[in-house]
Amino acid sequence: MARVVVIGGGMSGLSLGYFIRQMRPDWELAVLEAENRAGGKAWTVEQEGFVIERGVNGVLDNKPSTLDLAESVGLRPLRSFDTSRKRFVVKDGRLVKLPEGAGEFLKTPLLSPCGKLRVMAELFVPRGDLSRDESLEEFATRRLGRQTLERLIDAMSTGIYAGDSSRLSLKSCFPRIYELERDYGGLIKAMLTLQIEARKKGGKGPGAGPGGTLTSFDRGMSELADAVARSLGSSFRPGHCVEGVEPAKYGWLVHLKGGKSMEATHVAFACPATQAGNLLRPLNPEAADIISNIYYPPVAVVALGFRKGSLPRELDGFGFLCPGRERRKILGCLWDSSIFKGRAPEGYELLRVLAGGARLPQLVTLSDEELLHIVRKDLGDLMGLKAAPDFISIFRWDKAIPQYEVGYADSMERFFRSMAPYKNLYFRCNWVGGVSLNDCVANSRSVAESMAA
């Protein structure tokens, strides 16, 4: 009988364990997590009536993987408020609403008339050299113009990756956009073609944005992690730190901190790339070097609670992002209490500010007092917020989001080619196949299907 060990109890490891249990209930399964909690970066804390996400804020419902998993463990999703579709970008020190359609795009002050004409001229830009691993900055400048890169695309890379658009790989970070140019010759051509095809079938077709409604749970994203962990019963084992993996006659031997070991026929690495690299180094130094070089910028999360009367403006949207050209210290601010109900006590609002990332990683090392001073200054300049917060909670991720930088695809190809001789080792975390939670859960199902077969 198969004995499966999953190293890592974040959402990748938990969902992988869940799908294996569903597909092969007769197999022995252990999901090992070094921390004493489940979920990894799906981590919600409740303090003084505030419900604070330290990591992922929710998932879009346009991809079914995560919400299907939630339904199967008995959870009801919580949809975001309709007003949270309104999102802002900083331009020249003020918040400007992102356009939601063609009509708003023509009127938006985010781009100059020349900048808008340059976007529309994308229709006539020839297909690029698809053999190159182009950066997001190179692609956006070539197809849409420098102004769109600086005002819109750079903010998008900040919001998703806390990354640097000059280093992120378009093909690896946004594969769908790469495919649209490859298959249709351009973005506008692709959108027009897909909309025509959809209308023939009675649908609407794609819009300019990612689509879908942001969705979470009443008590935050930890509710999902905890429910999946409970479904695994004794197979989920928190407080179990893996220190080594080596070949054995029956497959693999997994060594735990404290001197114990576990036999396994199959081992899945569902842990960050740095940890996976450390475990693989005695076995395959070349593969370990490849994934150990994946960059994770640090990010600080600063949660601030205010009495509603102390805010200078109504929080009627998702929040805002700061493009790099604005020279702000913070990356952006999420207006959490206007995104989901129940995130703040009655009479209060909750803001969550992100700082650091690939742009200013050194900010994460500052003291709480220094970091709070920076955050309050930027919020004062951008939102007119002068009142002292009634609630403060600061959390730091030393390694936040894996960066799929230029060359990532080639590196991953070399990694998996190098690991091919090692049978029944699997890799399932957000440094492989997409950083979003939807991608992680969907890829866990695929890995489970491959393992079960």
CATH of the domain at 426: 3.50.50.60
Residues 145 and 291 in one domain: no
pTM metric for this prediction = 0.94
Does residue 220 lie in a domain region? no
Residue 269: predicted pLDDT: 98
Residue 195: predicted pLDDT: 87
Residues 285 and 353 in one domain: no
The one-letter amino acid at 425: L
Does residue 410 lie in a domain region? yes
What's the mean pLDDT in 223-242? Answer: 98
Does residue 366 lie in a domain region? yes
Residues 386 and 337 in one domain: yes
Share of the chain above pLDDT 90, in %: 93
Helices and strands: H and E segment counts in the chain: 16, 20
Single out the residue in 351, 371, 397 at which a domain terminates: 397
CATH number of the domain residue 187 falls in = 1.10.3110.10
**Helix, strand, coil in percent for the chain, rounding step 5:** 40, 20, 35
Residue 205: predicted pLDDT: 61
Residues 244 and 313 in one domain: no
User: Is pLDDT above 90 for 3?
Assistant: yes
Query: Exposure pattern of 287-326 as b/e (b: 16+ CB <10 Å)?
Result: bbbbbbebbbbbbbbbbbbbeeeebeeebebbbbbbbbeb
pLDDT digit string (tens) for 234-287? 999 999 999 999 999 889 999 999 999 999 999 999 999 999 999 999 999 999
CA distance 376 to 249: 59
DSSP assignments along 61-77, one per residue: TTS-HHHHHHHHTTPPP
Does residue 49 lie in a domain region? no
Residue 416: predicted pLDDT: 98
What's the mean pLDDT in 298-319? Answer: 95
Residue 200: predicted pLDDT: 82
In sequence order, the β-bridge partners of residue 236 are 31
Confidence at 208, pLDDT banded by 50, 70, 90: low
Range with top average pLDDT, 192-196, 209-213, 334-338: 334-338
Residue 318: predicted pLDDT: 97
User: How many structural domains does the chain have?
Assistant: 3
Q: How many degrees, rounded to 5, is the angle at CA 394 between CA 226 and CA 342?
A: 50
CA distance 445 to 448: 5
Residues 291 and 410 in one domain: yes
Single out the residue in 397, 424, 444 at which a domain terminates: 397
Residues 312 and 283 in one domain: no
DSSP assignments along 301-347, one per residue: EEEEEEEGGG-SS---SSEEE--GGG--SEEEEE-GGGTSTTSS-TT
Does residue 66 lie in a domain region? no
What's the mean pLDDT in 88-110? Answer: 93
The residue segments making up the domain with residue 347 are 79-83+297-397
Single out the residue in 359, 375, 397 at which a domain terminates: 397
What's the mean pLDDT in 339-348? Answer: 97
Burial class of residue 263 (count of CB atoms within 10 Å of its CB; 0-12, 13-18, 19+) = middle
Residues 390 and 416 in one domain: no
Does residue 50 lie in a domain region? no
Residue 201: predicted pLDDT: 80
Residues 274 and 319 in one domain: no
What's the mean pLDDT in 289-306? Answer: 98
User: Is pLDDT above 80 for 204?
Assistant: no
What's the mean pLDDT in 91-100? Answer: 95
Residue 102: predicted pLDDT: 81
Tokens of 402: 């894996």
Mean pLDDT of the chain: 95
Does residue 28 lie in a domain region? yes
pLDDT digit string (tens) for 398-412? 999 999 999 999 999
Residues 310 and 389 in one domain: yes
Bridge-based pairing state of the strands 425-427 and 261-264? unpaired
Does residue 11 lie in a domain region? yes
User: Is pLDDT above 80 for 206?
Assistant: no
Residues 283 and 373 in one domain: no
Confidence at 100, pLDDT banded by 50, 70, 90: confident
The beta-strand segments (E) located in 150-239 are: 214-216, 236-238
Residues 280 and 307 in one domain: no
CATH number of the domain residue 344 falls in = 3.90.660.20
Residue 127: predicted pLDDT: 95
pLDDT digit string (tens) for 433-453? 999 999 999 999 999 999 998
CA distance 26 to 208: 46
Residues 147 and 19 in one domain: no
